[in-house]
């Protein structure tokens, strides 16, 4: 490809660069994919490409480096991560505003079910979550909840503003029964059946999926795994992660015993749902403290190129210090 070096090279704003200690990652939020870049090219793109033409940039380097830089620019253009424009056009392509906010005090809630759940204790919680405009609920069952009881529980969400329910259930019944449940409750966007004999995915409708997994999810301690499989390439996640914890921000959880917590696997309880209002709990400074532990404040993660697209976990850490790396992440950005 012959590049017009009088032009400026500009990244598309849906392709954000994150510099790690050893390399830079390109997060493409439109095609939901990542790619990698040398950190020196990150510096050029980040600090020079808006002010200087490609020719002006190249003038600062020797012939060998010029060839390498041009090769990287070709890569960025070829993959449609960047485009060329004249200096006079640059203001038409402003930088993305990286602020984040959301019109709800709580965006998501985890409810862990006990062995013999008494669903009547959740009545006030559901009203409170509705009042708080919470849109996502994850219901996790480790023991094989009775289907009739589960359906009664799901009926309690009728008429609320809640949009999506993710169910994680222990498989104890025939698959058709679960498919029927998903079809009957349009709010269920995902049903994952653990302790199954197979690993298989099913598409139930345009917005509803079901999956069987052989893994046996025994309790809340099975959560917290950080891996590339869970990278989140939504722009909202990327923006939120600049300021907040990507797992716990605006989350409330109810553990198996009905205790209100940031996360079911955490020790600290803020009261029982039978006598404590979630609306009051989420206002507490102590409850909100973990919301603000963003990746840029966490040891090791702050140097990792994946810090704005991976998830986080504050329940299982490499040591007791609250700003340590998640225990269940095996990636080392320094290697």
Residues that bind ligand SF4 (CB under 6 A): 223-224, 226, 247-248, 263, 265, 295, 300-301, 304, 306-307, 310, 313-315, 325-326, 329, 331, 333
Report the residue number, 45 or 310, with the smaller CB distance to ligand SF4.
Answer: 310
**Minimum CB separation from ligand SF4 for residue 265, in Å?**
4
The count of other CB atoms within 10 Å of the CB of residue 239 is 20
Question: Do 265 and 249 touch, CB atoms closer than 8 A?
Answer: no
Q: Round to whole Å and give the CA distance between 105 and 118.
A: 27
**Minimum CB separation from ligand SF4 for residue 152, in Å?**
26
Report the residue number, 170 or 261, with the smaller CB distance to ligand SF4.
Answer: 261
The count of other CB atoms within 10 Å of the CB of residue 159 is 9
Q: What are phi and psi of 60, to 5 degrees?
A: -85, 0
Q: Which tokens belong to 181? A: 């449940």
**Minimum CB separation from ligand SF4 for residue 204, in Å?**
25
Grouping H, G, I as helix, E, B as strand and the rest as coil, residue 191 is strand
Query: Which of 179, 211, 222 is CA-nearest to residue 313?
Result: 222
Report the residue number, 116 or 229, with the smaller CB distance to ligand SF4.
Answer: 229
- What is residue 117's DSSP assignment? -
Q: What are phi and psi of 217, to 5 degrees?
A: -90, 105
- What is residue 226's DSSP assignment? B
Report the residue number, 18 or 49, with the smaller CB distance to ligand SF4.
Answer: 18
Report the residue number, 205 or 268, with the smaller CB distance to ligand SF4.
Answer: 268
Question: Do 285 and 294 touch, CB atoms closer than 8 A?
Answer: no
Report the residue number, 128 or 305, with the smaller CB distance to ligand SF4.
Answer: 305
- What is residue 97's DSSP assignment? P
Q: What are phi and psi of 245, to 5 degrees?
A: -75, 130
Report the residue number, 182 or 247, with the smaller CB distance to ligand SF4.
Answer: 247
**Minimum CB separation from ligand SF4 for residue 176, in Å?**
31
**Minimum CB separation from ligand SF4 for residue 285, in Å?**
19
Q: Round to whole Å and give the CA distance between 304 and 310.
A: 10
Q: Which tokens belong to 107? A: 């965006």
**Minimum CB separation from ligand SF4 for residue 316, in Å?**
6
Query: Which of 314, 154, 308 is CA-nearest to residue 234?
Result: 308
**Minimum CB separation from ligand SF4 for residue 54, in Å?**
32
């Amino acid at each position: 490809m012959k590049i017009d070096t009088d032009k400026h090279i500009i990244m598309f704003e849906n392709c954000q660069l994150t510099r790690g200690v050893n390399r830079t990652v390109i997060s493409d939020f439109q095609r939901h994919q990542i790619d990698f870049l040398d950190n020196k090219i990150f510096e050029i793109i980040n600090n020079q490409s808006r002010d200087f033409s490609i020719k002006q940039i190249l003038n600062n380097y020797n012939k060998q480096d010029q060839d390498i830089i041009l090769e990287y620019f070709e890569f960025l253009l070829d993959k449609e991560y960047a485009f060329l424009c004249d200096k006079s056009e640059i203001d038409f392509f402003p930088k993305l505003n990286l602020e984040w906010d959301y019109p709800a005090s709580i965006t998501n809630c985890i409810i862990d079910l006990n062995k013999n759940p008494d669903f009547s204790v959740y009545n006030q919680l559901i009203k409170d979550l509705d009042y708080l405009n919470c849109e996502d609920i994850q219901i996790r069952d480790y023991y094989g909840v009775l289907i009739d009881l589960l359906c009664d529980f799901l009926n309690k969400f009728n008429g609320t503003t809640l949009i999506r329910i993710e169910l994680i259930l222990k498989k104890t019944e025939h698959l058709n029964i679960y498919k029927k449940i998903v079809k009957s409750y349009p709010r269920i966007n995902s049903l994952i059946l653990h302790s199954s004999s197979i690993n298989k995915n099913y598409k139930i409708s345009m917005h509803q999926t079901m999956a069987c997994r052989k893994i046996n999810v025994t309790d809340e301690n099975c959560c917290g795994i950080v891996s590339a499989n869970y990278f989140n390439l939504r722009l909202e996640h990327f923006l939120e992660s600049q300021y907040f914890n990507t797992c716990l921000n605006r989350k409330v959880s109810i553990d198996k015993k009905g205790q209100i917590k940031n996360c079911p696997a955490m020790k600290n309880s803020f009261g029982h749902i039978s006598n404590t209002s979630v609306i009051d709990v989420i206002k507490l400074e102590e409850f909100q403290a973990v919301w603000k532990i963003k990746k840029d404040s966490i040891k090791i993660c702050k140097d990792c190129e994946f810090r704005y697209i991976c998830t986080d976990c504050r329940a299982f850490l490499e040591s007791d210090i609250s700003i340590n790396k998640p225990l269940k992440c095996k990636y080392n950005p320094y290697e």
